[in-house]
Homo-oligomer: A and B are copies of this chain.
């Protein structure tokens, strides 16, 4: 069965459904004819944005709720067949300022969701959005799933715990679950309002506003990138397959690129903006992980998934999207 066949009429829930990846997933699931429930807390600054579902508002159900709320989650999971579990606090910087809130959202709420499934819908399939951040600074490149988990910040620790919960609930309670360790996902519908959720969205905003990008150090650190449509296809493949249950998989891009080259590419594609190199800020340096790119062979082999959108094309599409819709992603009060 193709993912397209699998999701036709399928009852799906997306936590963090108004956020970056969640809303792109929603757009695709509507195309595929799924019955889509979006759960999002719409906490200011976290990434949920109603504009992200422009065009599909009437084809999805939006339930504003916080995944920390057990009674709400107990109700919402009941009739769902697949849950894409993407809700999270994603700022590494915030997690070091307020570790307890990060714990509540990235650990407590994951247990709450999994307990809801265990007790009210044990037949559901859950796909969890994990992150390459859990590996910390890599010993060797590319990083496979055999690499030690050694997070460098509280957010990475709590995301690792969230991932482990899913695998344990799969293995012990039979709630089918897997985790995708995403590298750097980019594309339309990402938060641009502030720079605390990673650098890509922020760089794109600076370029489109013809401002100067500050590249930390010499910009030699390398990353791999996944265009959001490719990430969406990875979630769909994982949700439709029982060959991935109980495991965590790297989901990264084919191309890796140094920060300085990425910035140059953005400036070239946009035809505007500029950049300069600056010293690393102390608090960012302390949790930086150097170069990172993932080996996604395990997931590719298991599901047949492969990234399809080249870096240059992905960033061109991204710039086009924000050129057309920037007003919906910029809140002048938050700069």
Contact = CB atoms under 8 A, between A and B. Distances in A.
Interface of A: 96, 99-100, 103, 107-108, 111-112, 115, 146, 148-154, 156-158, 160-161, 164-165, 168, 171-172, 286-287
B100 A108 contact: yes
Contacts of A168: 151-154, 157
A117 to B, nearest CB: 13
A112 B172 CA distance: 30
Contacts of A160: 160-161, 164
A154 B111 contact: yes
A161 B164 CA distance: 10
Residue of A149, A161, A165 ringed by the most chain B CB atoms within 10 A: A161
Count the copies: 2
A85 B146 CA distance: 30
19 contacts: A96-B172, A99-B111, A100-B108, A103-B108, A107-B107, A107-B161, A148-B148, A149-B149, A150-B164, A151-B164, A151-B168, A152-B171, A153-B172, A154-B168, A157-B165, A160-B161, A171-B286, A172-B286, A172-B287
A108 B108 CA distance: 10
Contacts of A172: 96, 152-153, 286-287
A99 B161 CA distance: 12
Contacts of A151: 164, 168
Nearest to A95: B168
A150 B165 CA distance: 10
Most chain B Cβ neighbours within 10 Å, of A96, A112, A115, A172? A172
A146 B149 CA distance: 10
Nearest to A167: B150
A112 B103 CA distance: 11
A84 B254 CA distance: 46
Contacts of A146: 148
Given A99-B111, A172-B286, A287-B172, A165 B161 contact: no
A149 B152 contact: no
A111 B100 contact: yes
A99 B96 CA distance: 24
A256 to B, nearest CB: 24
Contacts of A99: 111, 115, 165
A168 B95 CA distance: 12
A311 to B, nearest CB: 31
